[in-house]
Amino acid sequence: MTHPLQIFEAWFVEAQERELNDANACALATVDLDQAGLPRPDVRIVLLKGVGAEGFTFFTNYRSAKGLQLSACPVAALDFHWKSLRRQVRVQGVVARVSESESDEYFATRPRESQLSAWASRQSEPLDDRSTFEARLAEAAELFPGEIPRPAHWGGYRLRPDWIEFWEDRVGRQHHRERFSRVEGGWDMQLLYP
């Protein structure tokens, strides 16, 4: 198997079978521009919600720190670490929003509490007291007693990989690393030193 997304999908299936919690958890690194305009890395854990020929999909509040960073600088990196498998996958590429219909479709599958949070949370902004957030949750629940529509400020992103690296642990730190780089018409694979 030489297509990196097929390799990822096979590894991901194994991770879902063997990882105790959240096999779809990955670190998302974005670029934050400070007040002087200097780039600063910023990283947090997100949950992968889809992978396919177009790339890796995750969802968030567009007004969150990551959302604002992706709007200003639409490149990112993902890192999956599956300790039980002793494997890691690194991905880097360009990020774009998914369609509104795809965001709507995914939002409809979320638990009601998560849907209410999407309305109530001013993600990444300062919060004076937890009771303020809880009051906003109660307001959202009252506003939407039935079906909850997706807020316009919430949706998905897809990272289209420029490269994907597969890392497998080996004895004596003699790890096996393969990096697939996107080239016209497909992918080029290069072995890397441990």
Question: How many Cβ atoms from other residues are within 10 Å of residue 15's Cβ?
Answer: 22
Q: Where are the alpha helices (DSSP H) in the chain?
A: 4-18, 65-72, 100-109, 112-120, 130-143
Catalytic residue numbers? 173
Nearest to 61 by CA among 117, 136, 16, 3: 117
Distance between CA atoms of residues 21 and 15, nearest Å: 10
Cβ proximity of 178 and 166 under 8 Å: yes
d(CA 5, CA 25): 17
In contact, 140 and 120? CB cutoff 8 Å: yes
